[in-house]
Amino acid sequence: MAKAKRKSASSTKDVTASTTAKTSKRAMKKQVKMRRHVRLIEKLQKAQASREPLQSLSSLVDSLNDSADGGAAPEATAPKVCGLRLGKRGLTKTIRKRVTDAESARMAQVLTHPAFTANPVQAIRDLLQSQQS
């Protein structure tokens, strides 16, 4: 009988050793899952933070357009960006590229203009005053 007790004692040690190994594997898997989850949350927060200025800017543009129209409702036609009509999908890559090219050309003209090169602040002030009146 003593031999039987010894076998059962050694088998319980094996069982406890295997269960602790399983729990450590489970704990490791859980830690890996948590790290992945934390990385995903950080990635989502960064993406949301990068989108926030654009959203606030678009709301600012909308409010400025409303105040410029005298508080009138927006037109029923599709909105335009630099003379290009926006469809249901908004700004596509081609529209974005066209707008970027047009703005780059306009900026190059401004930088080479003699009034701007002489006194940039005064040139901007004159432009704003001419647009207000």
Residuewise pLDDT in 10s, the chain (133 residues): 555 555 555 555 665 666 666 778 888 999 999 999 999 999 988 888 777 665 666 666 676 676 666 555 545 555 666 666 666 677 788 888 888 898 888 888 888 889 888 998 998 888 888 888 7
The pLDDT, as a whole number, for residue 36 is: 95
DSSP assignment of 28-84: HHHHHHHHHHHHHHHHHHHHHHHHHHHHHHHHHHHHHHHHHTTSPPPPSSPPEETTE
Task: Provide the CB-side half-sphere exposure for 45 (13 A, CA).
Answer: 6
Phi, psi of 118 (to 5 degrees): -70, -50
Domain extent listing, the chain: 13-74, 77-133
pTM, entire model: 0.33
- The rounded distance, in Å, linking the Cα atoms of 68 and 61 is 10
Decide if 128 contacts 120 (C-beta within 8 A): no
- The rounded distance, in Å, linking the Cα atoms of 16 and 30 is 21
Hey, what's the torsion of the CAs at 124, 100, 75, 88, to 10 degrees? -160
